[in-house]
Amino acid sequence: MASSMAMTRSVRGLLGSMDTVCRMELDSLTEGQGPAPLHGGNSVELRRPIEGLGHAELSAWLDARGLPAYRGDQIRRWLFQKHATAFESMTDVPRELRQALARSFVIGSLAVQQRSRSDDGTVKYLLRLRDGNVVETVYIPEADRVTLCVSTQAGCGLGCAFCATARMGLKRNLTRAEIVDQVLEVQRQCPEERRISNLVLMGMGEPLANYDATRGALETITDAASGMAISPRKITVSTVGLLPQMRRLMEETRVNLAISLHSVRDDVRSELMPVNRKYPVAQLLECCRSLPVPRRKRITFEYLLLRGVNDLAADAAELAKRLRGIRCKVNLIPFNPHEGSGFDRPPEDVIERFGETLRARGIQTHVRRPRGEDIQAACGQLYHAAASEDGAGRARVEAAIEQRGVADSQATQ
């Protein structure tokens, strides 16, 4: 108990000056109103990335030019299934339409700045956006699947004490195109036999605080006819617990839901996750009980094990008690260390005992082992100090995207 209290004081210290900012951002983010602008004031205005258009918007663009709607499906298949990087390569699209597309749009909203490969095969991509901000995306190959961990915001404003991304603060929400392009960019670099089969929206940022862009990206990713055709059953969206958006997600999509829980004690969870002050544990769990989860699905509760904070046998027993009546499973995540966190990973025997306590009480439990830990790509480790101040980096991305468009325009003339 003494070590738990000491760690709680440590958590308060870590939150420190972030607390006021977190409270302000919680008020706006939990209503889906991102406080940060889409593009920095110094960024060059470019043609819009076409990947950000939904079915209806692309159809409207075609209709305004007197073109049939089926051309939209042709274009989307080139983008999302054949991974085209130039309009000129869309050989079954009329030349005049290719020219019009090249004048109005570009293909791509980000560029790979750095790739880091782990000893276990995990690859972390540092992706630079058009305004110079950066996000990280993680490719995780396993024997029976290949999972991509996708970011939905540049940074994060929710201030979770254990998460490296929180140190960045929130730079801005990602656009629909930027979320989709993470998948496309990595997919283009994958060998055919190791293509992405599963997605987890667990990278930088809170997906449900950027709800519209996240949902729009999911529409493109799950569209079997002319999108990426990744099944909703193989997609998981993780949230800190934004209740209104959780309900919308379950009503409007068929993806899986994961909730970052980490404690069922309000005093502990509020120190670890400021969002708990807005949506306490009881309110969160009551919402989970009322969600329209299909019969064959379960809500996943993510529980980060922090030594001396939430890893006692009593914590496990209380967790099992509070989850009773919710069709769920628990992913136990031993803490992945990162600089300045102030937390430690529990010993292996403590991790195993915690899991056994949950299983003995009828809770389906899995211990998630770290992947990419040696390249700071494991859960909670995503962080990059570089941001939009890097004018040279910004210029490189803008030039690369513009050059692609110029080449396209010249080729279609």
The pLDDT score that the predictor gives to residue 15 is: 44
pLDDT per residue as tens digits for the range 97-146: 999 999 999 999 999 999 999 998 999 999 999 999 999 999 999 999 99
Q: 278 near 29, Cβ under 8 Å?
A: no
Is residue 136 flagged as an active site residue? yes
Residue in the structure block whose two tokens are 């379960």: 298
Reply yes or no on whether the pLDDT at 228 is more than 70.
Answer: yes
Could you tell me which of 221, 228, 232 has the C-alpha nearest to residue 78?
A: 228
pTM (predicted TM-score):
0.86
pLDDT over 90 for what percent of the chain? 71
Distance CA 181, CA 25 (A): 26
Reply yes or no on whether the pLDDT at 226 is more than 80.
Answer: yes
Reply yes or no on whether the pLDDT at 173 is more than 70.
Answer: yes
Reply yes or no on whether the pLDDT at 410 is more than 80.
Answer: no
pLDDT per residue as tens digits for the range 356-373: 999 999 999 999 987 777
Residue 11's SS3 state is helix
Distance CA 125, CA 122 (A): 10
Is residue 379 flagged as an active site residue? yes
Residue 352's pLDDT band, with cuts at 50, 70 and 90, is: very high
Residue 207's pLDDT band, with cuts at 50, 70 and 90, is: very high
Q: Calculate mean pLDDT across residues 319-334.
A: 97
For domain 2-43+108-391, give the fold. TIM Barrel (3.20.20)
Q: 31 near 176, Cβ under 8 Å?
A: no
Distance CA 281, CA 277 (A): 9
Q: Which of 25, 136, 185, 206 is catalytic?
A: 136
The pLDDT score that the predictor gives to residue 406 is: 52
Reply yes or no on whether the pLDDT at 179 is more than 90.
Answer: yes
Least confident of 126-135, 213-222, 259-268, 384-393: 384-393
Distance CA 311, CA 245 (A): 29
The pLDDT score that the predictor gives to residue 187 is: 94
The domains of the chain are located at 2-43+108-391
Residue 375's SS3 state is helix
Residue in the structure block whose two tokens are 């999108």: 227
Q: Which of 149, 156, 163, 379 is catalytic?
A: 379
pLDDT per residue as tens digits for the range 241-295: 999 999 999 999 999 999 999 999 999 999 999 999 999 999 999 999 999 999 8
pLDDT per residue as tens digits for the range 143-165: 999 999 999 999 999 999 999 88
Residue 413's pLDDT band, with cuts at 50, 70 and 90, is: low
Distance CA 331, CA 228 (A): 28
Could you tell me which of 276, 281, 274, 275 has the C-alpha nearest to residue 315?
A: 281
Q: What is the DSSP string of 214-265?
A: HHHHHHHHH-TTTS----GGGEEEEES--HHHHHHHHHH---EEEEE---S-
pLDDT per residue as tens digits for the range 40-65: 333 335 699 999 999 999 999 999 99
